[in-house]
Structure 1
Amino acid sequence: MLRYILRRLLQIIPVFIGATLLVYYLVFALQGDPIRGLFGERQPSEAVINALRAQYNLDQPFFIQYLLFLKNVVTFNLGVDFTGRPIADILASIYPVTAQLAVMALVIESFFGIIFGLFAGLRKGKIFDATALVASLVVIAVPTFVIGFVLQLVFGVKLGWVKPTVGVTADFNSLLLPAIVLAAGSFAYILRLTRASVAEGMNADFVRTATAKGLSRPRVVTVHILRNSLIPVITFIGADLGNLMGGAIVTEGIFNVPGVGNKLFQAVNRGEGATVVAIVSVLVMVFVIANLLVDLLYAWLDPRIRYVK
């Protein structure tokens, strides 16, 4: 197990370099001058522009800029954005909001997806199963921004049950509706995954053996059917956790959530390469760690899985 963990940790290095290099290249290839874009129509002198370019290493070739960025990361220095504010301070202020939103969405989609999927799988071919499949297919087919605008209009504007936008003060009540919107698509996938795994597991030999031994129905369902059916679901949830922690640009944009997605979108528009790559670097680390934790959960869910090789 220890060797497996160390090997997975070493895999972070090429993943980190590959992801950040690709993002840095895409940002570098964007058209326009980000320094001139800061000033709009009132352009400063060339001396000021050249000084700012030198300050942010924009006067250096692409690979020199990237190597300087890696040097800063190794020394735990993410640099500053175009306003002069340290990027680490920006992440410290916006990431807790995105983390809270992601955790709320993950709890909603996991709890309701597994519960509804379990009941649908146990009642395969019946009315509840058919209704759940149709409803989940509708949720998957409808774009996220449509769900977001509809729920915002109905519950935020018409009924007034929640605030239509989050704003600066992001608390549990204001983040509940964005979390539901963010969890909607993944909830449908988790429901369908759980339903398919449970329906397949009901015909497994070990389930029939457990039933023949006289075990109670709740124990057979929870210990033998559900536990073994959660492996593909956990895989999806682990990957989705990395995506959620990365922030949802569409959802955060609709509800004006001051999170990572909003900041990343703004940085891309402004051509702030250092800010974009710094945020993406943190997201890569979160995604890799989330997937590592998921792999380690496999051994608990299914003791047959071993990490010897």
Structure 2
Amino acid sequence: MLAFVLRRFLGAIPTLFVIITASFFMMRLAPGGPFNLDRPLDPTVMENLNRIFHLDEPLWSQYLRYLGNLLTGDFGPSFVYRDFSVGDLFANGLPVSLQLGAGAILLALVVGVAMGVYAALRQNSLADYLVVATASIGTTVPTFVVAPLLSLVFGVWLGWLPAGGWGDGAILNKILPIVTLALPQIAVIARLTRGATIEALRSDHVRTARAYGLPARSVVITHTLRASILPVVSYLGPAAAALVTGSIVVETIFGIPGIGRFFVQSALNRDYTLVMGTVVVIAIFVVVFNMIVDLLYAWLDPRVRLD
């Protein structure tokens, strides 16, 4: 297993290199710059800023400088948030987004799998139709509708939970953002689990287990669920990366100081180093989560080999 992990990390290096290179030059070729304001700066001030941030150097020199800094773990200074480096912004915001993303994935996995299995065991019943209908609604209603609605109902009208804010990471402040992030994923996971469970229940090894007289609970948990969870595991890789790094709507509505808000703001403000930092973080998360998915696949399905 260790050799597999090392191979995956080494194989990811060329991919990360291509992503970083393409993103660097695409950002620099886009019109505008970090210091192009509605009210133009004095030419002398603009010249000094370009010299301080090395923007007056040839593009290839800027690229090599950035790669060299990146190898030492230096994402560079933020061009817009002048008092912070990109590393400082991530150090403050990434733990917050990780907590929200991890909580949402865990909630979606538990609830979505339970709903999917329950619906599959009662196929074509009222419970099955309710789960399918709920999942369809969950995948179509956007988070920018769900988030303010939950905040209004549970935070303002009922007063059960805080309507917004981080509250130094208090559990009550996390509930509404995590539920908002988890609802679309619950819907997707429930549909995936339902379809895979129905197919697994019709497989030969499950029918054989039933013929041997095994208890229904053992048949479902040991034989059916192990096979039906595989599509969900495949989906969790990109879904986890998206939840951790792409929660800008939820973080904005609930006033949470995560890193999601930096993704759009940095692109609009042409904050080159912050854009590049977010690209690197997303790419690393995708590589790591996909590797975890492969390991889970091998554990769940003995037919999958890692060598």
Determine if the alignment matches structure 1 residue 71 to structure 2 residue 62: no
- Pick closer, same or farther for the CA change 1:168–1:155 going to 2, 3 Å: closer
**SS of alignment partner, residue 229 of structure 2:** helix
- Do residues 47 (structure 1) and 66 (structure 2) align? no
Equivalent position of 1:19 in the other structure? 19
The percent of aligned pairs where both chains have the same amino acid is 35
**Which stretches in structure 2 are left out of the alignment for 5+ residues?**
none
Superposed, which structure 2 residues align to 1:213-252 within 5 Å? 213-252=212-251
Give the whole-Å Cα distance in 2 for the aligned partners of 1:253 and 1:229. Answer: 36
Q: Distance in 2 between matches of 1:139 and 1:153?
A: 19
Give the drift of 1:158. Answer: 2.0
Q: CA deviation at 1:268?
A: 2.0
What are the within-5 Å matches in structure 2 for residues 93-172 of structure 1?
Answer: 93-167=92-166, 169-172=168-171
| 2:14 partner letter | P
For residues 25 and 247 of structure 2, the distance between their equivalents in structure 1, rounded to whole angstroms, comes to: 22
Instruction: Give the secondary structure class of the aligned counterpart of 1:34.
Output: coil
TM-score (norm: length of structure 1): 0.93
8 Å Cα contact 1:136/1:189 also seen in 2 = yes
Q: Confirm or deny: 8 A CA contact 1:170 1:257 kept in the other structure.
A: no
Contact residue 24 and residue 66 of structure 1 kept, 8 A: yes
Q: Following the alignment from structure 2 to structure 1, what is the Cα–Cα distance between the partners of residues 280 and 114? A: 35
In structure 1, C-alpha distance between the alignment counterparts of 2:267 and 2:33, rounded to whole Å: 12
- Separation (CA, whole Å) in 2 of partners of 1:283 and 1:143: 22
Measure how far apart 1:168 and its partner are.
6.5
Offset of residue 48 of structure 1: 2.2
Equivalent residues of 1:102, 1:247 under 8 A apart: no
The whole-number CA distance in structure 2 between the counterparts of 1:200 and 1:62 is 55
Per the alignment, do residues 168 and 46 of structure 1 end up closer, same or farther by CA in structure 2, a change over 3 Å counting? Answer: farther
Instruction: Report the counterpart of residue 198 of structure 1 in structure 2.
Output: 197
CA distance in 1, matches of 2:167, 2:70: 29
Two-structure CA RMSD over aligned residues (Å): 1.8
Contact 2:151 2:163 in 1 (8 A): yes
CA distance in 2, matches of 1:21, 1:61: 15
* AA in 1 matched with 2:94: Y
- 1:246: Cα distance to partner? 1.2
SS of structure 2 residue aligned to 1:11: helix
Question: Residue 168 of structure 1 contacts residue 258 of structure 1 at CA under 8 Å; is this kept in 2?
Answer: no
Structure 1, unmatched stretches of 5+, are none
| Structure 2 counterpart of 1:57, one-letter code | H
Matched residue SS, 1:115: helix
Do the aligned partners of 1:247 and 1:259 also contact (CA within 8 Å) in 2? no
For normalisation by structure 2, the TM-score amounts to 0.93
Structure 1 contact 193–233 (Cα < 8 Å) conserved: yes
Query: Aligned partners of 2:302, 2:18: CA distance in 1, in Å?
Result: 34
Residue 121 (structure 1) shift: 0.9
Choose which of 45, 53, 58 in structure 2 pairs with 1:56: 53
- In the other structure, the counterpart of 2:305 is 306
Higher mean alpha-carbon deviation, 125-134 vs 77-86, is at 77-86
| Aligned mates of 1:62, 1:151 — CA distance in 2 | 48
CA distance in 1, matches of 2:24, 2:170: 34
Query: 2 CA distance for matches of 1:262 and 1:8?
Result: 30
2:183 aligned partner, one-letter code = A
Verify the 8 A CA contact 1:87 1:275 in the aligned structure 2.
yes
Query: Whole-Å Cα distance in 1 between the matches of residues 273 and 113 of structure 2?
Result: 40
- The CA distance in 1 between the partners of 2:83 and 2:48, in whole Å, is 14
> Aligned pairs, how many?
305
Name which of structure 1's ranges 281-290 and 21-30 shifts more when overlaid on structure 2: 21-30
Once the two structures are superposed, residues 214-244 of structure 1 have per-residue CA deviations (whole angstroms, 9 ceiling, x without a partner) of 2111111001000111111111112211111
Q: Does 1:34 align with 2:31?
A: no
